[in-house]
Structures are given as structure tokens and as C-alpha cells.
Amino acid sequence: MQATIIEQFAAIVGTGNVLTGAEAASYCADWRKQYAASAQCVARPGTTEEVAQVVRLAAAQRLAIVPQGGNTGLCGGSVPTGTRPEIVVSLSRMNRVRSVDALNNTLTAEAGCVLAELQRTAAAHERLFPLSLGAEGSCQIGGNLSTNAGGVNVLRYGNTRDLTLGLEVVLPDGRVWNGLRGLRKDNTGYDLKQLFVGAEGTLGIITAAVLKLYPLPSASATAWIAVESPARAVELLAALRSACGDRLSAFELISRHCVEAVLAHRPGTRDPLAERSDWYVLAELTDTGEQAALAVMVERALDDCAQRRLVRDVALAASQAQSAALWQIRESIPEAQFKNVKHDVSVPVSLVPEFIARAGIALDAVFPGTAVFCFGHVGDGNLHYNIGDAALVAKASEVNRIVYGSVAALGGSISAEHGLGQLKREEIRHHKSALEMELMQRIKQAFDPQDLMNPGKVL
């Protein structure tokens, strides 16, 4: 790229906010170091108008644009492909909370706001922003929106899509669509915001959003539960929901292999229960009432489940510190088995046990004795199903065919919450109909006829 173009970007965002060479390297590789390619530069705009100007200049030069948030994604969706001239547009400087409307239970935030900061801002107004995931200390809400992030509280509050009321988006031609409406009812045509949520930056750059808030819970209960099997876990889920209603906000299935990996990876971590089990559930319940009342409800529900043999053993957190320690085990699982063949899949909740059994048998027939690290949000049918160790990565295609075949047989999805990015861009063609792919291509063409927005991702 000619220096004059760099200077033009610098004139928009400031010289210190256009990065090249070694300064740009960290923006051009994904978190897992699976994807890396050079960009012409990294532009770091600080306002929506600066984003619009950067996009207009890039479009005039036919430079592809890679929108980027915290760059914590797992599918290579937020880094360059290296197949054409590209720039990275980092939204990290756009990190302001524009407003909080406690009576409307909404928060309006810019795309570069770190998720954990939004949670803290909501709490300061005695409200809850329920999106919660392992990377919340570094991921940004723009990336969460672009991938329709899930996390542990989907069971009660839904995905990011369900938490979004309005968006502000810079379109591929540099125009700004202001859809920042805090309305829960607006039946005036196509719901345009839903096209951008989950589009992974291929239709435009999300610069701000109106997000839903909820009353801040005043009581909570965390339980680490040993169960006999995934089938018992699903039965336990139904029993707890019947007994406790929507107080059940998280319900995580965890295999023993995952626990062993964490114990080895994080010295000092304590096994929550004395007796080993092949499977565990980590359940979280919250309420806006009294702590004592919730505790009694949870204990009664678990006692009833134990009598029905849905529960083998339980460790109930007696303090916030104990609750945090239990959640630390769950959140440490991804880093404890960092290099293996990973899958983010979903099936109907009722078919989770069948998927685990079916995939396990098929994998063992080809790769006997290979460890399976299975964990995830079984309350919404989303499992992280990771196979083997680094040595098996070379055979990832064969492993994927087995796992995705089991998913397809049960009417599931090969990407529940991580998106497609570069990782699953070709694989998705085997799982969506020709008509679905055609409709997606038509939408992309309508918004981005020059194919400048995050090309090489999703489609």
C-alpha cells in the first residue's frame, strides 16, 4: 500500500491509531494461533463518524475490511485471510457506555466496551446484564453481537440476539444506520438488526447497541452435582426447572476428563466431591427474593432429585468464594485442553445423551481409547465436544466427519455459539440446503455488492 493511503487513514483516526508492521501483528492472528495473515494496516477509530470515514476510504480503494473486537473468537472470523488487500478496523477505542435507562431496563454501549465492564456498569445501577462467558474480561460487545455469543446464562436469558433491542451500524458504503431504539415492540417491517447480529461483520460494522437489562439478583445458589450419565443430567434439568422455575439460570454438563484436565492444569484446584463420577452438572439458580428462601427451595429440590436417583452426590456452595471456585473449574476447561480437535455443536436438549453416545461409539471405532472432553450448556443443547490431544489435530478432518455426522443425524448444528468464521466456512455447505445458502448469498450481495466486509468468512 502507498504511504499516502496510510496517511489518509491517519488523518481520520490520528497517526497513533494506524498500526503497521510489528505493531499490527497481534491484531492479525487469532487467539488460538490457528489463523494469521498480514493486513495493510490496523485502523483504530474512536467514533462512529471515524468508522464511517475509514469505511468510505477503504471502499474507494477497494480494500477489504476486517472488523475486530477483542479478538477472542475461536473460528478465525476476526483476522485477515491474506487472500487480498485487507485492513483491520479495531473498535477497541469505542468503549463508552452512552446511557443507562434503569426504568426501561436498557443500556446503550459502544462496540468496544469489554463485556465485564458492561456487567459492572449494570450492577452499579442495580441491574443485571446476563451475558456471561469465559472471555468476558477481554471480549467486546461488538464481537459478542457479531457472533451472537451464548455463554452460561442462555438457559434463562437467551443468546446475545435475545438481549439486543437496537443497533447502530456502519454499512459497507460508509453510511450509518441508526437503529438505536430501546423498544420491545416495533412491528414496522423487517427487523434489520437481526441481520447484523450473528453476521460476523460480513454485512456491516456494529458500532453501538441498545441492550436489555434485568433486575439484579439478591440471592443465588451454586451446586456441583454428580450424576450417573448425560441422560440423568437431562432428567435432572427437567426436574429442577419444574421445582424452581426460571430461577435456574445455568446448567452445565462436565465430563470427568474435563475435571482431570483442570486439576492437572491448575495446581491447587480442589475436586469438589470426594467420590469420582464420570459426569457432573454445575447448576446456578438466582432470585430477587431472600437468600434463605432460595436455599430452602434448592435443597428441597435436590433432596427430591436424590430420592428419584437423578443425583448421586452434591456439593452446595456455602459462600461466594466457594461458588467462584466451582465456576473457576468450569471456566478453566478450555485452557486446560487447549490443543485438540474442538467442536461447538448443538442438538435438541432431549437428544444430548444420544449424541454423546452415538459420537463416542463412532469415534472409538476409528480412534480407540481417545479421550473426549465433553462439556457445555446442556440446558440449551449446546456442547463443546473436544477430542484427543495435539497429535490428533492432523486428523481433524476425519474427526470432524464423525462428529458432524452424528450432529446431522440428530438434526443439530455444527456451530452453536462460536460462529463459522474461516474454520467452518466450507463445512457449512454440507449442512445447509442449497436454498439456504442462496438466500444468505443474496443478503450478502444486497448489503455488500463489492464483497468488502470481512470476505472469506461465513460464505
Write the CATH number for 281: 3.30.70.2190
Question: Which residues have C-beta within 8 Å of that of residue 401, sequence separation ≥ 6?
Answer: none
- The reply to whether 225 and 187 lie within a common domain is no
445 CB-near residues (< 8 Å, 6+ apart): none
What's the confidence (pLDDT) of residue 2? 56
Pair 233, 279: CB distance under 8 Å: yes
31 and 106 in a single domain? The answer is no
Query: Does the residue 456 lie in any domain?
Result: no
The answer to whether residue 445 is domain-embedded is no
Amino acid in the structure at residue 203: L
Range(s) of the domain holding residue 389? 344-424
Same-domain check for residues 147 and 255: no
pLDDT at position 31 is 86
Residue 355 is predicted with a pLDDT of 98
Give the integer Cα–Cα distance in Å for 457 and 141.
19
b/e per residue 217-247 (b: at least 16 CB within 10 A): bebbbbbbbbbbebbbbbbbbebbbebbeeb
On whether both 154 and 186 belong to a single domain, the answer is yes
402 domain-assigned: yes
Q: Which of 33, 65, 90 is the last residue of a domain?
A: 90
Do 22 and 85 fall within a single domain?
yes
Residue 350 Cα distances to 129, 237, 382, 410, angstroms: 28, 10, 12, 10
d(CA 292, CA 296): 6
| Residue 382 resides in a domain | yes
Confidence (pLDDT) at 338: 86
- CATH at 31: 3.30.43.10
* Helical H segments across 61-168, by residue range: 115-124, 141-147, 154-157
Asked if residue 363 and residue 261 are part of one domain, the reply reads no
For residue 256 the three cell numbers come to: 470427568
How many domains is the chain built from? 4
Distance CA 272, CA 174 (A): 53
- Neighbouring C-alpha atoms within 13 Å toward the C-beta of 343: 31
- CATH assignment at residue 357: 3.30.70.2740
Residues ≥6 apart with Cβ < 8 Å to 391: none
Enumerate residues 6+ apart whose C-beta is below 8 A from 41: 1, 6, 9, 18, 19, 20, 24, 87, 88
Report the chain (459 residues): mean pLDDT per 10 consecutive residues. 83 97 95 91 98 98 97 95 96 98 98 98 98 95 97 95 98 98 96 97 98 98 98 98 97 97 95 96 97 97 97 97 97 93 97 98 96 94 95 95 97 95 94 96 98 96
Based on the fold, state whether residues 235 and 326 are members of the same structural domain: yes
- Residue 3 has a pLDDT of 65
Residue 449 covered by a domain: no
Which cell numbers hold the place of 315? 456439593
- Cell 483476522 belongs to 79
The structure's pTM equals: 0.94
The DSSP bridge pattern shows strands 86-90 and 41-43 to be parallel
Pairing of strands 176-179, 97-101: unpaired
Per DSSP, the residues of 87-123 read EEEE-TT---EEEEETTTTEEEEETT-BHHHHHHHHH
- 441 lies in some domain: no
CB 256 within 8 A of CB 277: yes
d(CA 362, CA 311): 28
Using only C-alpha atoms, what is the Rg of the chain? 23
Q: Which phi and psi angles does 107 have, rounded to 5°?
A: -135, 130
Do 109 and 209 fall into the same domain? yes
